[in-house]
């Protein structure tokens, strides 16, 4: 990694930490520079303003989202196996400490100035489209019986996030261990299949 790229990432990491601890409004570029162990000038060379820096954090979260889950329906592969793989990929994303920190920063800012992140949140929500497409394919294949695939996609992810996202982001709980993850995934898949399998 080039030195400039390393500094840029250090600034992003420092900003995430400072925003998480102090909030966006109460964090200065001086604080971020100090936390990143770089000069204030270096911070401004990479990010012309605090707003631009926050946008870069949003983009980093979107990048994690887009790289995390690849959902493509596979005709002939057991539906339980496919759903389990989808859930496992989701848990990997949600268990990433960097993702949790990003989520905390963005959620805090969403409560104070929702207009700042509305467009980014729409992009985050659009990732459900992959699962919706997968569900539509499963319905067309006659494997699942779902009238509202958008609702079902949110429902499926919510079964996982109830244990592997909200307790960590809101209450600071430890992430479930491997045995607990397996139980959460199995129960989510079983409940979902029980509700929608033909």
Which CATH number goes with the domain that contains 30?
1.10.10.60
Q: Which of 165, 163, 154 is nearest to 186 (CA)?
A: 163
CATH number at residue 181: 1.10.357.10
Question: Is there a single domain that holds both residue 43 and residue 71?
Answer: no
Question: Is there a single domain that holds both residue 16 and residue 99?
Answer: no
pLDDT at 128 over 80: no
pLDDT at 32 over 90: yes
What pLDDT was estimated at residue 120? 61
Lowest mean pLDDT among 9-13, 20-24, 113-117: 113-117
Question: Is there a single domain that holds both residue 115 and residue 29?
Answer: no
pLDDT at 144 over 80: yes
> What sign for the dihedral angle of Cα 76, 124, 156, 147?
negative
pLDDT at 126 over 90: no
- CB contact at 8 A, 162 and 90: no
Does any domain span residue 39? yes
Does any domain span residue 53? no
Alpha-carbon span 162 to 152, nearest angstrom: 15
Work out how many domains the chain is built from and give that number: 2
Range of the domain at 39: 1-48
Question: Is there a single domain that holds both residue 44 and residue 63?
Answer: no
Does any domain span residue 182? yes
Question: Is there a single domain that holds both residue 80 and residue 173?
Answer: yes
State pTM to two decimals: 0.80
């Amino acid at each position: 990694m080039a030195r400039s790229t390393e500094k840029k990432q250090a600034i992003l990491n420092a900003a995430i930490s400072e925003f998480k601890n102090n909030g966006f409004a109460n964090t200065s570029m001086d604080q971020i520079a100090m936390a990143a162990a770089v000069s204030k000038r270096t911070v401004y060379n990479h990010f012309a303003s605090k707003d631009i820096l926050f946008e870069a954090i949003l983009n980093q979260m979107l990048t994690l989202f887009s790289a995390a889950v690849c959902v493509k329906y596979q005709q002939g592969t057991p539906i339980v196996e496919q759903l389990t793989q989808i859930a496992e990929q989701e848990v990997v994303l949600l268990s990433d400490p960097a993702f949790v920190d990003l989520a905390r920063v963005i959620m805090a800012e969403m409560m104070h100035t929702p207009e700042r992140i509305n467009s980014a949140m729409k992009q985050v929500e659009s990732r459900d489209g992959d699962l919706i497409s997968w569900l539509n394919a499963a319905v067309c294949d006659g494997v699942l019986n779902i009238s509202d695939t958008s609702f079902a996609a949110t429902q499926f992810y919510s079964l996982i996030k109830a244990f592997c996202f909200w307790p960590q982001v809101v209450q600071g709980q430890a992430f479930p261990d491997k045995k607990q993850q397996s139980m959460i995934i199995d129960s989510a898949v079983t409940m979902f299949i029980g509700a929608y399998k033909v």
